[in-house]
Amino acid sequence: MDACRNRIGGNLKLENMKTLPREELLKMRDTLCARYDAVRTLGLRLDMSRGKPSPEGLDCSLELLDVLGSKSDLHCETGEDVRNYGLFDGIPEVKRLFGEILGVPPEQIIVGGNSSLNAMYDCVGRALLLGVYGGKQPWVKQGPLKFLCPVPGYDRHFAITEQFGFELVSIPMDENGPDMDEVERLVNHDPSVKGIWCVPKYGNPTGIVYSDETVRRFARLKPAADDFRIFWDNAYFVHDLYPDRPHTLLNIFDACKEEGSEDMVYEFMSMSKISFSGGGLSCLAASPNNVAWLRKQMSFQTLGFDKINQLRHAHFYKNRETLLRHMAVLADILRPKFEAVLRIFDENLSGTGIAQWTRPEGGYFISVDVLPGCAKRVVALCKEAGVTLTGAGAAFPYGRDPQDQNIRIAPTYPSLGDLCQAAELFCLCVRLAAAEKLLEGAV
């Protein structure tokens, strides 16, 4: 941890900035400004804007490239040649692997390319133009439509439905997941509500894991629309930072089977942060009815994805146990980064009354709430000093945080030393923005 100490400067005294007399607050602001000006001269060029895997994390899968060669048997277990057409929804080995991970029968899996976001986009687009199983007509023929967006949430989810013209409705989150009273009120009584985005385990950006009761309440929904869908993006299902004490997530399909509501759910997962972001695999899991419907629609769209890459992944990861051993290695890389950022936040912001943050035990992000009205200022200050963050408001529909207070921190990509510099600068900017706001008397 020596690389993480004294990179920006010594820590300021921890005291509640909201209760400081104006004279002391003025002195603190001047001290913060001086430190900030000194940091600007360092010429930092650090990026914490996206949750990308680090180079050392990607290196853990390099042997994946050696699994198949020109002398390899390029037939899957059914005997089909993966170099040719056929099996457009995935080879059986990979269906079984995804099924073992998610707890879903292999026949309910459709394997895609490297991006689950692509699969989500396609599902929304197909539902708009062609409808969904059990629906009376395509979404596009039904007038103005709404999509529910738990916040803070994943900006790329919101962007998909914004592009397609949905009205995006924010749903508050707590430590158990979305506000289910509000979800039930809207879904069960408004037929224009066609779906909801969910990241149920180690959510982006909060790190929240949905409680069992939240999952059961999703399964018990009685939508006013006959074509409502839950978009269950299980992107971080196996991304535990502490593999010896992983958080559990109730299987949404098991819960739905008890309620007879399996057709409500599309579940997504990818290996973009397991193997290679640019060359992994994704999958869509759904009920038998949905899978049959989607297979028919997709048969017009593609003759199949990269089955050679599918065979490569099947041979490399083999089964759930092998994959979890690989995830434990990745956790050893990520865990020190998260712990360093949280320690720096504790050392520089605890007790100041101007920020609070999540303490995720998995996933790829930390969510920080600064003083209302300060998030854009913090991001701008960081950028001017050489650290790029995700834009303020990105975790809300239309990029608009009504309180201007949430900032997503992505600790995964930078080196530990760079990350500590960035985190310390971030804390400095949070305190400077807060001092400015408090001196305005706006808080």
- pLDDT (tens digit per residue) in 151-165: 999 999 999 999 999
The answer regarding whether domain 84-318 maps to CATH 3.40.50.620 reads no
Mean pLDDT (whole number) for 193-214: 98
CATH no. for 2-57+325-440: 3.90.1150.10
Indicate the pTM of the whole model.
0.95
Which pLDDT does position 1 carry in this prediction?
44
Residue 338, CA atoms < 13 Å, CB-side half-sphere: 23
pLDDT bracket for residue 18 (50, 70, 90):
very high
Residue 71 CA: distances (Å) to CA of 67, 75, 273, 288, 317: 11, 12, 29, 38, 20
In this predicted model, what pLDDT tens digit does every residue of 171-192 receive, in sequence order? Answer: 999 999 999 999 999 999 999 9
Residue range(s) occupied by CATH 3.90.1150.10 in the chain? 2-57+325-440
Residue 425 phi/psi, 5° resolution? -65, -40
Give the Cα-Cα-Cα angle 145, 237, 370 (nearest 5 degrees): 70
Residue range(s) occupied by CATH 3.40.640.10 in the chain? 84-318
Measured distance CA(338)–CA(200) in Å, rounded: 20
Residue 215 phi/psi, 5° resolution? -60, -45
